[in-house]
Amino acid sequence: MAADIKNLDESTFDETIGSSETPVLVDFWAEWCGPCKMIAPILEEIATEEQGLSIAKVNVDESPDLARRYGIMSIPALILFQNGEPAKTMVGAKPKSALLEELGEFL
60-103 pLDDT per residue, tens: 999 999 999 999 999 999 999 999 999 999 999 999 999 999 99
Q: At what angle do helices 96-103 and 34-49 cross, to 10 degrees?
A: 60
Supply the pTM of this predicted model.
0.95
Reply yes or no on whether the pLDDT at 4 is more than 90.
no
9-68 pLDDT per residue, tens: 999 999 999 999 999 999 999 999 999 999 999 999 999 999 899 999 999 999 999 999
* 57 given a catalytic annotation: no
- The domain spans of the chain are 5-106
Active-site residue, from 5, 25, 26, 36? 36
* 36 given a catalytic annotation: yes
Q: What is the CATH code of the structural domain delimited by 5-106? A: 3.40.30.10
CA distance 91 to 60: 14
Active-site residue, from 17, 24, 26, 33? 33
